[in-house]
A and B are shown apart, each in its own frame.
Chain A
Amino acid sequence: MKILVFIQVDDNKINKMSLETLRCAQIISNEVSAVTFDESAANELTTYNLNEVIFAKNSSLSNYNPLYFANAFEKIIDSSFNAILFAHTYETRDWVPRLSARLDYPFISDCVDLKNDNGSLIATRQTYQGKLNNDFEIKSNVFCSIQSGSFKSDDLESGSCSLNTIDVAFDDVENTIRAEEKFKEQKGGVDLTAADLIVSVGRGIAKEENIPMAEELTALLNAEMGSSRPIVDYGWLPHDRQIGSSGQVVSPKLYFSLGVSGAIQHQVGMKGSDKIMAINKDENAPIFEISDYSVVGDLLEIVPKLIERIKEN
């Protein structure tokens, strides 16, 4: 089974999720190749146990552009690969569907598992906000992207392999997408990644008027306040409180979530926490899948009582 893994490079460093994806490929096959658009990443990749590292070389590929990336990739792959893997990053989400339409390869996105079941390749992806798993048997050439944290990059097998440099020419790309420099908003915003304790609120908080209650608990626990995306979208808390794929990725000693359902995009940002305590009305909420302490109940009744108890002691 031949597998090709695309390695994303951000700010001259190999993306960690790409290494997790590379580890996934090592587990399912012993014919794994890696491809990257960055020379130093390519050299670094030759220290892993792989068949080959492909360095697709062109100065237009040093900054991300979906049109150039798709065009280069189209030129260097062939149909001999059973599956071509990507880390499920925002960049992947932006350009791989284009490649999927162009080459007519299905793109099975955001897989939580990929396994070799006696020679057939099975991809697992979640639907309905993580409430359901779907297993697909891969029969044709496909692209798959792997969800963050599904495999451990620490387990990568080292070794050595050859480097194949391919010069890519671009005379046929009409650049209709022109990106400016990336930037961060709210300079000096809160850094939740250093917090030992986070109290996080989600939709279950129900009303903006209930936010102060969560803030009081946060203060009593000497914690930092976090939130899921909807709370920021509603404008109840600033963006620098948001945890998840589009916000901050945290790993505190305790993550205490109040009314957070725990959609995949949120879990990506907090599942590395030492302990997770969750209150939610919905017993089927995905947050309970990863909780150490789970409370099925109404946070609006429970939290005020908990605040009372802490104050009494």
Chain B
Amino acid sequence: MKICVLVKQVPDKNDEIKLDQNHKSVDKNNFNFVTNESDNYAVEEALLIKEKLGGEVTVCTYGSESSIQVVKDALSKGADRGIFIENDQNLDYDILNISKIFKSAFKDENFDLILSGLQSDDIGNGQLGVLIAEHLQMSHGSLVMETETSDNTKIKVKRELENGWFQWSELDLPASLTIQSGINKPRYASLRGIMMMKKKPIQTIKLSELETNAQSIDNLKAMYIPQKTKETVKVEGTPDEIAEKLHNILKNDLGLL
């Protein structure tokens, strides 16, 4: 089974978001970068499938120079090789154009399975896995909670629907799956894994050298911090004082005690 996992480097969820002067980009200087949460689950699922059926796990990311770290982290956990598509253009692309970049980079790879986290924690389009499925003429399953594999022609996936509903689907391979967090327990890299990572191949593809007709974003008007629409009572003080004030609100304002 030839498996590819798409991973993305994103800021930590607790990082503060500051805008650049032009209000059209985000100041990335103080970010603590991590692997996107649901992508960690996708990496784990790929490794589990490989351990069952054999084959190879390729890990791939697209991004600026620092992004190569998320490829290294997945290699340390057990992926076999890396592809780093470096955005050396200093331009931003929307998700449709990013999907064309992957399409172009993958045209000779013939992956049986492409796994990705269902949504990135920064931009959050939640589309890439399905866009790539269409570009590469693959079947797809989104919001996957469980996989069942038996051979190299089909895969069964349990998908999450809304309001507590689930559904099993049988997909012909090749297939692209977007993985929901919680599907497994992602492993940590071992010391041995980190040592072995250093010998694993990472192919760097520069965006400027890739044949793609991708167009950068030209319609962003503004970025801004959302306005609050609600009046909020701020409860402040020491923990003791806060507890007393909350007790008062619960009892007197809301009549709940």
CB pair A101 B223 closer than 8 Å: no
Q: Please tell me if the beta carbons of A229 and B181 are within 8 angstroms of each other in the complex.
A: yes
B191 contacts chain A at the CB level, 8 A cutoff: no
Q: Interface residue tally of chain B, by bracket?
A: 35 or more
A33 to B35, CA, bound (A): 42
A134 neighbours in B (Cβ, 8 Å): 220, 222-223
The residue that A128 contacts in the complex, of B17, B229, B243, with Cβ under 8 A, is B17
The chain B residue sitting closest to A274, CB to CB, is: B254
Does any Cβ of B come within 8 Å of A75's Cβ?
no
Q: Given A179-B167, A233-B181, A302-B242, A90 and B96 touching (CB < 8 A)?
A: no
CB contact under 8 A between A284 and B16, given known A184-B165, A277-B246, A289-B226: yes
Interface contact B127-A97, CB-CB below 8 Å:
yes
Known: A93-B143, A179-B168. A313 touches B232 (CB 8 A): no
Q: Which of B151-200 contact A (CB under 8 A)?
A: 160-172, 175, 180-182
* Chain B residues, CB < 8 A from A247: 164
The residues of A that contact B94 with a CB separation of less than 8 Å are: 106
Residues of B within 8 A of A296 (CB): 234, 236
Q: Is the CB of B225 within 8 A of A131?
A: yes
Alpha-carbon distance between A264 and B26 when the two chains are bound, in angstroms: 19
Q: Check if A232 sits within 8 Å of B232, measured CB to CB.
A: no
Q: What 0/1 readout, one digit per residue, does chain A (284-300) give for beta carbons within 8 Å of chain B?
A: 10001111111111100
Q: What is the predominant secondary structure among interface residues of chain B facing chain A?
A: mixed
Q: Which of A127, A277, A310 contacts B124 (CB 8 A)?
A: A127
CB distance from A211 to the nearest CB of B (A): 17
Bound CA–CA A259/B8 (angstroms): 26
**Is B166 within 8 A of A133, CB to CB?**
no
* Minimum distance in angstroms from B9 CB to a CB of chain A: 14
A232 in contact with B182 given A181-B167, A254-B254, A292-B233 (CB within 8 Å) = yes
Known: A122-B221, A294-B234, A313-B251. A221 touches B167 (CB 8 A): no
Does A177 contact B141, Cβ atoms closer than 8 Å?
A: yes
* A291-B233 Cα distance, complex, nearest whole Å: 8
Would you call B53 an interface residue if the criterion is a C-beta within 8 Å of the partner chain's C-beta atoms?
no
Question: By the criterion CB–CB under 8 Å, are B250 and A295 in contact?
Answer: no
C-alpha gap A298/B239 in the complex (Å): 8
A66 at the B interface (CB under 8 A): yes
Cβ–Cβ < 8 Å partners of B67 in chain A: none
* Contact between chains at A90 and B160 (CB < 8 Å): yes
Contact B96 A289 (CB under 8 A): no
CA distance A240 to B30 in the complex (A): 38
Tell me the bound Cα distance from A185 to B228 in angstroms. Answer: 37
Q: Are B223 and A282 in contact (CB under 8 A)?
A: no
Give per-residue flags for A224-239: 1 if the beta carbon is below 8 A from chain B beta carbons, else 0: 0000011011000001
Name the residue among B229, B233, B251 with the largest chain A CB count within 10 angstroms: B233
For residue A137, CB closer than 8 A to chain B, the reply is yes
A70, A101, A135 pick with most chain B CB within 10 angstroms: A101
30 CB < 8 A contacts A-B: A94-B130, A95-B130, A101-B99, A106-B96, A126-B226, A127-B124, A128-B11, A132-B17, A132-B26, A132-B223, A134-B220, A137-B219, A137-B221, A176-B172, A177-B139, A177-B140, A177-B141, A177-B170, A180-B170, A183-B165, A184-B165, A232-B182, A277-B246, A284-B17, A293-B232, A294-B234, A296-B234, A296-B236, A301-B239, A305-B240
Q: Chain A interface (Cβ within 8 Å of chain B)?
A: 66, 70, 89-90, 93-95, 97-98, 100-102, 104-107, 109-110, 122, 126-139, 176-185, 189, 197, 221, 229-230, 232-233, 239-240, 245-249, 253-254, 261, 264, 275, 277, 282, 284, 288-298, 301-302, 305-306, 308-310, 313
Task: Show the binding face of B for A, using Cβ within 8 Å.
Answer: 11, 13-14, 16-17, 19, 26, 94-96, 99, 121-128, 130-135, 139-143, 160-172, 175, 180-182, 219-226, 228-236, 239-240, 242-244, 246-247, 249-251, 254, 256-257
Of all A-B residue pairs in the complex, the 3 with the closest CB atoms, nearest first, are A233-B182, A305-B243, A97-B130
